[in-house]
């Protein structure tokens, strides 16, 4: 059970939100409160004017983050991510963004280059992210 409900490093979440939403400036982030480019999920699709169709709409940024964390913790596509996190726990090692960014497989069609981009973005912005956490 811990494998599916454990934490996602906050700095990793912040890095991915910044990467996916253009630091919160994308139309999807502004109009749908969708920071992670999450496609429509059950009960979250919209046809409302001004909203980005085909993507989930959230009532708040907090709801978007919660859905993202739930997605990583439950979707079958991210089972290797969860297993890697559980292995760190078992070895009594800290679950950090540095340790986990490259463990996220299948999140982007860009593959490893996306993980490399995220890791570089995280490294470049570590102090900024830490100052706001």
Question: Given pLDDT bands bounded at 50, 70 and 90, which one contains residue 85?
Answer: very high
Classify each residue of 8-47 as buried b or exposed e, where b means 16 or more C-beta atoms within 10 Å of its C-beta: bbebbbbbbbbbbbeeeebebbebbbbbbbbeeeeebebe
CATH of the domain at 41: 1.10.530
pTM: 0.85
| C-alpha 11, offset from chain centre | 10
Average pLDDT value for residue range 66-77:
94
Please report where in the chains the tokens 């593959």 appear, as a residue. Answer: 111
Number of structural domains (the chain) is: 1
DSSP codes of every residue in 50-101: TS-TTB---SSHHHHHHHHHHHHHH-GGGHHHHHHHHHHHHTT----HHHHG
Task: Write phi, then psi, for 55 (nearest 5 degrees).
Answer: -125, 155
Question: Given pLDDT bands bounded at 50, 70 and 90, which one contains residue 109?
Answer: confident
Spatial CA neighbour of 29 closest among 37, 43, 46? 37
Residue 9 has pLDDT above 90, yes or no: yes
Task: Please give the pLDDT value at position 30.
Answer: 94
What is the share, in percent, of the chain residues with pLDDT greater than 90? Answer: 68
Task: Please give the pLDDT value at position 79.
Answer: 93
Domain housing 63: 2-131
pLDDT in tens, 27-65: 999 999 999 999 886 666 766 666 777 888 899 999 999
Task: Please give the pLDDT value at position 17.
Answer: 96
Task: Please give the pLDDT value at position 63.
Answer: 95
């Amino acid at each position: 059970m811990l494998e599916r409900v454990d934490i996602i490093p906050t700095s990793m979440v912040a890095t991915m939100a910044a990467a996916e939403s253009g630091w919160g400036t994308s139309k999807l982030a502004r109009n749908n409160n969708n920071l992670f480019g999450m496609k429509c999920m059950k009960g979250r699709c919209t046809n409302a004017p001004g909203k980005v169709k085909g993507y989930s709409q959230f009532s708040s940024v907090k709801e978007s983050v919660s859905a993202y964390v739930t997605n990583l913790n439950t979707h079958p596509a991210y089972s290797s991510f969860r297993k890697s996190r559980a292995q760190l726990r078992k070895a009594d090692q800290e679950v950090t963004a540095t340790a986990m960014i490259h463990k996220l497989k299948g999140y982007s069609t860009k593959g490893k280059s996306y993980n490399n981009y995220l890791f570089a973005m995280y490294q470049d912005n570590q102090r900024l992210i830490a100052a706001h956490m």
